[in-house]
Amino acid sequence: MSAITLCDVGPRDGLQNRPEILSPHVRAELVERLAATGLPRIEAVSFVSASRVPQMAGAEEVVAGITPRAGVTVAGLVLNERGYDRLVAAGLREAHFSFSVSESFNRRNQGAGVEESLALATAVIGRAREAGISSTVTLSTAFGCPFEGPVDPGRVREIAARVVAAQPNELLLGDTIGVAVPRQVEDLVASVAGLGLPVGVHLHNTRNTGYANALAAIAAGATLLDASLGGIGGCPFAPRATGNIATEDLVYLLDGEGIETGVDLDALIGVAVWLEGILGEELEGQVYRAGRFPPPLL
């Protein structure tokens, strides 16, 4: 089967909801270790206010501590033009912009209405295109909102069409609170893929449907998948939302399905074991604990 591009969002989405605050040095080391596994893309930092998300403080220091590696793209999340300015000044060449299709969630998460965030996304996309910087937009709560309930797929497609008109490089659909099931994912991905941009998904595993949803997304034409090392993550503004699908679990699944990822699973498991030691607790992912099969010595 065709190759899938994986983006590990652990250094950003995975750490932003943790109780502890890791130093920029440790966060940079996490990115370096992930890059060494063959992951083609890593969302390393978020250029947001440290007063709102203290776990993401020192983004510039994190970027400065990362050694560029051929074949690996390091990206940063921005939510406005100030964040984009910081990303450019830090030397990154890929900007990720995320906003919610749900009015209530977007106001709690970003302090702005959906229309305001769409305008900001359009401005960032335009500036990035002129500067030769890649841009990816994620529409969060695309399948359900913790405050408004189910989200109308027609609304998602309408907002997606307006984002596509601004000409970013990619568009992702986010199951931010992990409520989607495969049929929903397949239908919405297929619909949005018809807009003409590369489409992907950002999946949380809150209700244990994340991996089935990943396969459904691929079947519908998705070529981009976000995941987080060890399944860490969550959102400080989404009650009861748990972590992303685990990168190593996803790689194990895709390898078994004959879908090329280019990622060294054993190396990735090693990074998860390292991160468990850093965080001082067992992570949500299962493959790093169970090991690959067959084991390397068989």
Inter-axis angle of helices 24-35 and 265-279, to 10 degrees?
160
Other Cβ atoms closer than 10 A to 208: 9
Other Cβ atoms closer than 10 A to 42: 27
Q: Please, what sign has the CA dihedral across residues 164, 169, 170, 176?
A: negative
Ramachandran class of 127: left when φ > 0, alpha when ψ lies in -120 to 50, beta otherwise: alpha
Contact 8, 229 (CB under 8 A): yes
**Position of tokens 């996304």?**
121
**Nearest Cα residue to 284 out of 255, 242, 252, 256:** 242
Between CA 82 and CA 249 the distance in angstroms is 35
Q: Is 275 helix (H, G, I), strand (E, B) or coil?
A: helix
**Nearest Cα residue to 178 out of 13, 53, 6:** 13
Between CA 18 and CA 11 the distance in angstroms is 11
Beta strands in the chain (DSSP E): 5-8, 41-46, 73-78, 94-100, 134-140, 144-145, 149-150, 170-175, 199-203, 224-227
Q: Which of 224, 235, 251, 287 is catalytic?
A: 235
Catalytic residue check, 235: yes
Q: Is 259 helix (H, G, I), strand (E, B) or coil?
A: coil
Between CA 273 and CA 13 the distance in angstroms is 19
Active site residues: 235
